Structure 1
Amino acid sequence: MLVREIMTAPALSVRADSDLEEGLKVLAEHRVTAIPVVDDEHRVIGILSEVDILRRAVEPDSRAHALPVAQSEPLPKTVGEIMTPDPKNTTEGTDVASLIDLFTHTSIKSLPVVRDDNQLVGIVSRSDVIRALWRDDEDLLDDLHSAFHDYGQTHWKITVDHGMVEVAGAGNATEREVAVAIARSVLGVRRVHVVEADQLA
């Protein structure tokens, strides 16, 4: 499964000189956790996340404190004042499995998807991955049969159980690798196991 198959495109974006209210509105209205910040050439130069806003854009309410709240620095007015510059990004051809590793080991919830020279083409989030994995086994099996048919690989027996795919039949090592590659190309496949003919009951 590749990023281009699950990403949201085109991606919402804001400029660094955009009013912070505009960034807040986009996050709230579209219910996203982050939006890329782009320059005049639509290249990604930063990202505005919920965390960025929570850190800088809310002033303490004196009613909740026993003592007066100390004078704080002025609240930011533009996206560029609080965005995270030079964020991590990914490309359309990246394996989603590598994103899962990133999402599960960091606090990152979404990544801009870029092409040459950091041009924004989409965004991919943890929610996109979850939606891609949530597929009915019957629908998944239909897509697998279609994919194998398109590659002329109709001699394999395919079964699906909760997104786990078993491909059974005769074939040499190269043919088995091809079968695995075809199966993994289908959106929603979580794992592929090849059973050789002599292992069948």
Structure 2
Amino acid sequence: MYGTPHTVSDVMTRTVVALASAAPFKDIVRAIRQWQVSALPVLDEDRRVVGVVSEADLLPKEEFRDRTPDRYTRMHRGGDLAKAGARTAGELMTAPALTVRADATLAQAARVMAQYGVKRLPVVDEAGVLRGIVSRSDLLEVFLREDADIEQEVRREVMAPLFPAPLEPITVRVRDGVVRITGRVADTAFVPVAVRLARAVEGVVDVDCRLAGPPRRVDLDADLPDLPEDKADGDPTGPEEVRMSS
């Protein structure tokens, strides 16, 4: 994979086990065990995702198998009681299904997973038709990107546009996903922007930015009062360094 941003379609699994709405209870259990997954999408006749059946949807049948629910349970767990009596995927499924578009970015998919606490998402096209499945581990694949690829992208897509005429050459080095940026620029106002954009490059683990601004001119400081001896250390002509780490 090259370039940023990648989309869900770049990392998703395209072979997906799915259920028809009429799939019977035992077939659902067999599929979950056979494919070692915790949930399966449910499709209509046009392969649109209409719901998801998870292990949690199946458990009420066992929970209420040998007991009659009391009044509190009937009042507060009506949904689970309905699932306990369900026979098909259409009756068991949670709907509408939580899905992600194939053209969504990996960051967008990660936010959906984090917000709803799910481990995988059915991937659909603009018509809601199932195209694949994406898991948490799929999203982490970007961190396997080669350091050389990250370095090239940061240099070309971030540093070159922001600092087209640096006072001294800007050096970008990447090791184990950590980007280190050094050099001297005419205006340090864009340094926070550079850090933010570098951090957004896929595969970046952290950013250590040590870009320095122009050196202070002694003639401009001539009229300033002398500093106390304990604060006068250092070279007055030294560069102003902006050090930022994400």
TM-score range, shorter chain: 0.5 to 0.7
Across the aligned residues of Structure 1 and Structure 2, the Cα RMSD in angstroms comes to 3.8
Q: TM-score when scaled to structure 2? A: 0.57
Q: What is the match of residue 89 of structure 2?
A: 79
Q: 2:37 aligns with which of 32, 46, 54?
A: 32
Q: Does 1:141 align with 2:158?
A: no
1:20-49 deviations in Å (ceiling 9; x for gaps): 222222222222222111111111111111
Determine if the alignment matches structure 1 residue 159 to structure 2 residue 174: yes
Work out whether 1:45 is the aligned partner of 2:50: yes
Residues in 2 aligned to 1:145 and 1:21: alpha-carbon distance in whole angstroms: 52
Q: Residue deviations 1:74-123, cap 9 Å, x none? A: 74321111011211211122222233333233332222111121011111
Deviates more, 1:43-52 or 1:18-27: 18-27
Could you tell me which residue of structure 2 aligns to residue 66 of structure 1? none
The amino acid that maps onto 2:204 is: V
Q: Which has the larger radius of gyration?
A: 2
Instruction: Report if aligned partners of 2:8, 2:106 keep a CA contact under 8 Å in 1.
Output: yes
Q: Distance in 1 between matches of 2:25 and 2:181?
A: 52
SS in 1 for 2:16: coil
2:141 alignment partner, one of 104, 124, 132:
132
The amino acid across from 2:141 in the alignment is A
CA contact (8 A) 1:133 1:190 kept: no
Distance 1:150 1:30 in 2: 43
Structure 1: unaligned runs, 5 residues or longer? 63-68
Are the aligned partners of 1:169 and 1:196 in contact in 2 as well (CA < 8 Å)?
yes
1:141/1:110 CA distance change after superposition, 3 Å: same
Match of 1:88, SS state, is coil
For 1:40-189, what aligned pairs fall within 5 Å after superposition?
A: 40-55=45-60, 57-60=61-64, 62=66, 69-70=67-68, 75-129=85-139, 131-132=140-141, 135=144, 140-145=146-151, 157-161=172-176, 163-167=177-181, 180=197, 184=200, 186=202, 188-189=203-204
What letter matches 2:100 in structure 1? T
Q: Between the two proteins, what is the percent identity of the paired residues?
A: 25
> Secondary structure of the equivalent of 2:146?
helix
The residue identity in structure 2 corresponding to 1:142 is A
Equivalent pair of 1:8/1:122 in contact (CA under 8 Å): yes
What stretches of structure 2 of length at least 5 have no aligned partner? 1-5, 70-80, 161-169, 214-240
Q: Following the alignment from structure 2 to structure 1, what is the Cα–Cα distance between the partners of residues 8 and 41?
A: 17
CA–CA distance in structure 1, aligned partners of residues 11 and 210 of structure 2 = 29
Tell me the TM-score normalized by structure 1: 0.68
